[in-house]
Amino acid sequence: MKHCLAVCYAALLLTLLAPSTGLAHSALCSCFDNGDGTISCEGGFSDGSTAAGVRMFVRDVTDTTIARGKMDKNGEFTFEKPESEYTVIFDAGPGHQVEIHSSDIKE
């Protein structure tokens, strides 16, 4: 879970830089190439709450959904790496969506 630390640092940075808005929190998601033909994503929220059950979508360049699922109890989602460009969408509802383009996903 080497990327979990990066997500935690991002959450801390967002918390420190964001104005105080009561109980508001930001959605966080990062994805990485496992090097075995799969992509894994980790998600959560800036207040430390879990992303378990958050809907995940993978869409191609024509905006067609090519994979879908939900974050597991650990806030993780893994899918088969598409052959062409794609976008991963972490969808926790209005104002809590994160889009990650395949060009930003590294091994």
The ranges assigned to domains in the chain are: 2-104
Which CATH code is given to the segment(s) 2-104?
2.60.40.10
DSSP H helices in the chain: 2-17
pLDDT at 17 exceeding the cut of 80: no
pLDDT in tens, 83-92: 999 999 999 9
92, 96, 24: which is closest to 54 by C-alpha?
A: 92
Nearest to 14 by CA among 43, 45, 42: 45
Tell me the per-residue pLDDT of 23-81, one tens digit each, with 9 for 90 and over: 568 999 999 999 999 999 999 999 999 999 999 999 999 999 999 999 999 999 999 99
Beta strands at 27-33 and 55-60: parallel, antiparallel or unpaired: unpaired
How far is Cα 67 from Cα 18, in angstroms, rounded to an integer?
33
Q: State residue 34's pLDDT score.
A: 97
Decide: helix, strand or coil at residue 103: helix
The pair of three-digit structure tokens given for residue 54, joined into one six-digit string: 């958050």
Contact criterion met (CB below 8 Å) for 102 and 87: yes
